[in-house]
Amino acid sequence: MNQVVITALKRPYTFVVLSIFIVIFGVRSVIKTPTDVFPNINIPVVAIVWSYLGLMPEDMSGRVVYYYERTLTTTVNNIEHIESGSFYGRGIVKVFFQPGTDTAVAQTQITSVSQTVIKQLPTGATPPLILAYNASSVPVLTLQINSDKLNGSELYNMASNLIRPQLISVPGVSIPNPTGGWRPTSRSISIQQN
């Protein structure tokens, strides 16, 4: 230990330069180190969104989601569990897979079974939107728009055509379509930002 002190006293500029390098590289590493608020949780999940405008939640659950869930359990491999929700004109099904399942294979199986189940659904049903969903992808912003003067369709148009395009320009943003506002009595719209 004495040798370090003696060297520092003999060569003070070396230690000053060394301390400046430590400060510079320390600040540089703090600035350049990537940070992630939500760590990547590797749980294979695929989300399926069925759309059929005008269908009540009860009908969406009974006429679309129910048959689709039964078809999934017979044709898709490695399912851990299925969660679903029915809304006005939308049915969302989340299929959770066993750990280690290849999400690309699961997504392919779900896409193919989604094409075959359409014939059992109400006339005019279109193929669903199928998304590889990461369990750490949670909404970080939910925007709700209310109005006493505008009706539901006007609110939906404002959220979809004015507000949503402005939010999509933010780097790293993924914004789903606005929900709500289709019924004449509905006076709020929600937009979630992931």
Dihedral in degrees, nearest 10, Cα atoms 26, 30, 34, 40: 100
Domain ranges of the chain: 2-32, 44-134, 141-193
Instruction: Compute the distance between CA of residue 95 and CA of residue 44 in angstroms, rounded to an integer.
Output: 9
pLDDT tens-digit map of 7-50: 888 888 888 899 999 999 999 988 888 776 666 667 788 989 99
CATH homologous superfamily, domain 44-134: Multidrug efflux transporter AcrB pore domain (3.30.70.1430)
pLDDT score at 27 = 93
Q: Residue 95 has what pLDDT?
A: 92
Cβ neighbours of 117 (radius 10 Å): 20
Q: What is the pLDDT of residue 32?
A: 85
Distance CA(106)–CA(157), nearest Å, equals 35
- E-assigned strands of 79-160? 79-87, 90-97, 129-134, 141-146
Query: What distance in Å separates the CA atoms of residue 19 and residue 30, rounded to the nearest whole number?
Result: 16
Give the pLDDT score at 81: 92
3-state secondary structure at position 91: strand
- Say what the pLDDT of residue 185 is: 44
pLDDT confidence band for 190 (50 / 70 / 90): low
Find the Cα–Cα–Cα–Cα dihedral 112, 88, 137, 32, rounded to 10°: 120
Model pLDDT, residue 144: 77
Residue type, 150: L
The CA–CA distances, whole Å, from 79 to 23, 32, 50, 101 equal 52, 40, 19, 9
pTM (predicted TM-score): 0.56
> Would you state the pLDDT for residue 126?
86
Q: What is the pLDDT of residues 94-127, one digit of tens each?
A: 999 988 888 888 899 999 999 888 888 888 888 8
Q: What are the helix (H) ranges across 118-158?
A: 152-158
- How far apart CA 68 and CA 117 sit, in angstroms, is 7
For the stretch 131-178, pLDDT in tens is: 887 655 666 667 777 778 877 778 878 888 888 888 777 776 766 666
**Residue reference for tokens 């180190």:** 33
Reference 64, options 92, 43, 100, 33; nearest CA is 92
Pull the structure tokens for residue 140. 């970080």
Tokens 């925007």 appear where?
143
